[in-house]
Amino acid sequence: MLRPITHSGLPALRDYRSRRVSSFDRSGGNRDWYDIEPGQTRVIAELDGPGCIRHMWCTMLFKDDAHLRRVVLRMFWDDCAEPSVECPIGDFFGLGHALRKNFHTAVLSMSPQDGRGFNSWWPMPFRRWARVEIDNRDGVEKFPFYFYVDYEQYDTPAALDAMGFFHVQWRRENPTVGWGEEYEELRRQQWQKWAEKTWHGGDPRSLNTSGADNYIILEALGDGIYCGAHLDIDIFERQKNDWYGEGDDMVWIDDDLADESDGATRRPKDGGKRKGRQARRQAGTKGRDRASGIGDQGSDGSDPATQRRSDDGAGPVGQFVTPRCTSLRPVRPPTLHGTGTEDWCNTAFGPHTEWVGPYHGILLYSGTDEWKWRGKQSIYRYYVLDPIRFRRCILATIEHGHANKLSNDYSSTAYYYLSRPRRGGPALPTVEQRLPRPDDRP
């Protein structure tokens, strides 16, 4: 059986063959890269199974780092015709905003100098075959691509018994829909009065027990394990009290959810229908005035989250929301409910510094003394030591500010495993909808 490799497990003489595919110069020279032309999709690895990718390294040179959102990495497993991994290449390796910088976590890194060397240690099992592609169809320049794909090969699929297939889901909501007061109005109020109104229930909008309008990090059907995500936030305009860290994470698992696909509603087995109605009634979600999302129902019985997240994700110019890819709807409170975005990434009390650990941290902080939360932020939480198990489905979300009061540019990359390969979430949006906002810092 495939097992995690730890220091104590290194002496174990496991039964596998070490293999590698790389971009080395077959002529014996030093032209150790593949040219990726604009408009081209190039297969960089086709692997026979059973096997498991253990490590990937790559580097590339662009005139414009925005290409880290233009170029797409795709991975296919076994007989699945759709990619289980489809992600902008920079985001896949752990940092959004089309940025690169030096960091190292347990599973992803960007190595010196200036984050030019990308690494992944996510294990990626496959039973029959695997294919890895680099898609430059949205690119505007040719670039050299250097890479290693290091993998293990086994004699029998039994080595992969009970192993899931690796999946990635990339999402964006630009901007989120908030309700907080204008910044100038906030300045005119005393802080204590504002806190009592906003955090302690004086404003009914500040009570969110339903998860309505939460930002979605992951929605998936199947039997699997959720391994974490990085969350990239651009606080591009000072409109409100813009501290994003009070947004709670909420994760619904299995019987917390109803699947309304194909016109049929599958309810929880343990009375979730009654509990779900009761929870929504207590939360005041039925018939309320505020724009609703997850967990609410519109006057026509439809899910307003689906209405707001249109089929193609289109909206006014400059806006985009990743469309829903399932018909999951909460029918009771989430199994896992956190206490704030800063707490989700295992920090505390409004950190305004960069700190990188193996499983959690703050990769990017862009604030100033004058505007503490200004600009691009990037945080992460990887459940490597404490993965989240689901048997049927999962919906992992986070509030954008307390009770979804803030309007910012949110994007995320979630990593998870499923018992069978399938598409890893909605198809990617157009390149214009993927590109980061410009950094207007002087």
Mind spelling out the 3-state secondary structure of 32-51? CCEEECCCCEEEEEEEECCE
Length of the chain: 442
Q: What pLDDT, in 10s, does the model give residues 223-269?
A: 999 999 999 999 998 876 789 999 999 999 999 999 987 555 555 45
Q: Does residue 341 have a pLDDT over 50? A: yes
Q: Does residue 214 have a pLDDT over 60? A: yes
Residues 6+ apart with CB under 8 A from 438: none
Structure tokens at 313: 């994700």
Structure tokens at 259: 């699947």
Q: Give the residue-averaged pLDDT of 72-97.
A: 98
What does the pLDDT read at residue 382?
A: 99
Q: How far apart are CA 75 and CA 81, in angstroms?
A: 10
What does the pLDDT read at residue 84?
A: 99
Neighbours of 221 (CB within 10 A): 18
Q: Give the residue-averaged pLDDT of 418-441.
A: 91
Looking at per-residue pLDDT, the higher value among 290 and 19 belongs to 19
For 168-194, letters b (16+ CB in 10 Å) and e give: bbbbbbbbbbbbbbeeeebeeeeeeeb
Q: How many domains does the chain have?
A: 2
430 belongs to a structural domain? no
Determine if the peptide bond prior to 175 is cis (ω within 30°): yes
Which of 122, 148, 163 terminates a domain? The answer is: 163
Neighbours of 419 (CB within 10 A): 14
Hey, is 436 helix, strand or coil?
A: coil
Q: Does residue 109 have a pLDDT over 70? A: yes
439 belongs to a structural domain? no
Hey, is 427 helix, strand or coil?
A: coil
Q: Which domain holds residue 105?
A: 17-163
What does the pLDDT read at residue 206?
A: 83
How many CA atoms does the CB half-sphere of 398 hold within 13 Å?
Answer: 34
Task: Using alpha carbons, select from 117, 118, 347 the residue that is nearest to residue 245.
Answer: 347
Q: What pLDDT, in 10s, does the model give residues 372-384?
A: 999 999 999 999 9
Which of 111, 140, 163 terminates a domain? The answer is: 163
Q: How far apart are CA 323 and CA 306, in angstroms?
A: 7
Neighbours of 345 (CB within 10 A): 27
Average pLDDT, the chain: 85
Looking up residue 388, the CATH number of its domain turns out to be 2.60.120.1390
197 and 326, same domain (yes or no): yes
Residue 294 per-residue DSSP state: T
Hey, is 244 helix, strand or coil?
A: helix
232 and 376, same domain (yes or no): yes
152 and 174, same domain (yes or no): no
Q: Which long-range contacts (CB under 8 A, 24 or more apart) does 341-344 make?
A: 341/231, 341/244, 341/245, 341/246, 341/247, 341/248, 341/249, 341/379, 341/398, 341/399, 342/245, 342/246, 343/245, 344/249, 344/379, 344/381, 344/398
Q: How far apart are CA 392 and CA 409, in angstroms?
A: 30
Which of 138, 163, 188 terminates a domain? The answer is: 163
251 and 302, same domain (yes or no): yes
62 and 201, same domain (yes or no): no
**Residue pointed to by tokens 């540019």:** 409
Q: What pLDDT, in 10s, does the model give residues 25-37?
A: 999 999 999 999 9
299 and 342, same domain (yes or no): yes
Task: Please state the φ and ψ torsions of residue 419, each to the nearest 5 degrees.
Answer: -65, -25
What does the pLDDT read at residue 204?
A: 76
CB 187 within 8 A of CB 27: no
